[in-house]
Amino acid sequence: EDQVTQSPEALRLQEGESSSLNCSYTVSGLRGLFWYRQDPGKGPEFLFTLYSAGEEKEKERLKATLTKKESFLHITAPKPEDSATYLCAVRGNKLVFGAGTILRVKS
């Protein structure tokens, strides 16, 4: 059975304090790994799609990387507006979502 585990469940950072969020997965035949950002009471906003190990994508202060077992979302010098829940999803035979990491960035 395809599974996705995100860690940590919650993360508090000071503004400018870089860190990483983890998405570990087991899937039979990876057909894509997706990262989304979700603000409270809103729908998830698409960030990145990764398809193969070694692939990396960047957007502003965010960088997503992929290995055969996990993906990292690196946040460099975060700002308070980066506070949100970050969701990871993997597609094998179907799309499976992790429970998310709640990120809080204090100024």
Partner 1 sequence: DGGITQSPKYLFRKEGQNVTLSCEQNLNHDAMYWYRQDPGQGLRLIYYSQIVNDFQKGDIAEGYSVSREKKESFPLTVTSAQKNPTAFYLCASSLSGSADTQYFGPGTRLTVL
Q: What are phi and psi of 80, to 5 degrees?
A: -55, -30
Least Cβ distance, residue 82 to partner 1 (angstroms)? 19
How far is residue 50's CA from residue 57's CA, in Å, rounded to a whole number? 8
CA distance 45 to 43: 6
Closer to partner 1 by CB, 17 or 58: give it.
58
Q: Tell me: cis bond preceding 8? Omega within 30 of 0 counts.
A: yes
- List residues binding partner 1 (CB under 8 A): 4, 31-32, 34, 36, 41-46, 49, 87, 89, 91, 94-100
Which C-beta is closer to partner 1: that of 6 or that of 78? 6
User: What's the closest the beta carbon of residue 14 comes to partner 1, in angstroms?
Assistant: 26
Tokens 């993997």 belong to which residue? 90
Q: Minimal distance in Å, beta carbon 67 to partner 1?
A: 19
